[in-house]
Structure 1
Amino acid sequence: MVEDEVYERTAELFATLASPRRLALVERLAQAPAAVGELAEDLGVPQPLVSQHLRVLRQARLVRGRRDGRTVTYEVVDEHVAHVVADALEHEREHDARPQEHDPDGG
């Protein structure tokens, strides 16, 4: 069934995004394109680690790189995904800012 294929591809998308570093990269690249060195500096992680995560995001066709001489600048390809990531991060940030409710059942 066609819907099953949509669910499968959507699950693959979420699996690709199921990494804090990749979420941070998508969030950062949604703001503005950047080179690997700039991304590594912004996120405070080594360049090889950034490159590995960018490779995963490229393979999923969520980001693309544009070469200019020796520099490759990355950008978000799919604005829908950028919005999903932004909404999910905002949800968690709002959740963290709310006072914790007491659960009388202890759960």
Structure 2
Amino acid sequence: MSEDLEAAAELFKALSSASRLRLLTILAEAPATVSKLAEASGLSQPLVSQHLRTLRAGGLVSVHREGREARYELADLHVAHIVADAVKHALELR
């Protein structure tokens, strides 16, 4: 059980940034490149890339190369549900 809790704690660490949650919300709509994510989120491309590295390391997003471009997408629908549930819960606490 301790290993399971450690894995869950690592997941929550990856989700602990509002910017990363914003990126996941955008990706829940459709896969996107770093430049499209930067445009949609208002974050700089280097910052988006940094957050995507964290999200990839946490298994929350995957990347598919298309020529010179990399297209990011949610690893699975559970990710979108986790983010939506967390946002809903946070709004209920207000």
Q: TM-score, normalised by structure 2?
A: 0.92
In terms of mean alpha carbon deviation, does 72-81 or 44-53 score higher? 72-81
State how far apart, in whole Å, the 1-side matches of 2:23 and 2:79 are. Answer: 12
Q: Which runs of 4+ in 1 moved over 4 A?
A: none
Residue 44 of structure 2 aligns to which amino acid in structure 1? P
| Partner residue of 2:30 out of 16, 29, 32 | 32
| Partner residue of 1:16 out of 14, 17, 23 | 14
Q: RMSD over aligned Cα, in angstroms? A: 1.3
Shift of 1:78: 2.7
| Partner residue of 2:61 out of 60, 63, 68 | 63
State how far apart, in whole Å, the 1-side matches of 2:58 and 2:65 are. Answer: 19
Residue 70 of structure 2 aligns to which amino acid in structure 1? V
Residue 37 of structure 1 aligns to which amino acid in structure 2? S
Shift of 1:77: 0.4
SS of residue paired to 2:9: helix
Aligned to 1:99: none
Any idea what the Cα deviations from partners look like across 1:42-78, whole Å, max 9, x if unmatched? 0001000000000111111110111111111100003
Q: TM-score, normalised by structure 1?
A: 0.81
Residue 81 of structure 2 aligns to which amino acid in structure 1? H
Aligned to 1:101: none
Q: Which runs of 5+ in 2 are unaligned?
A: none
State how far apart, in whole Å, the 2-side matches of 1:94 and 1:39 are. Answer: 28
Larger radius of gyration: 1
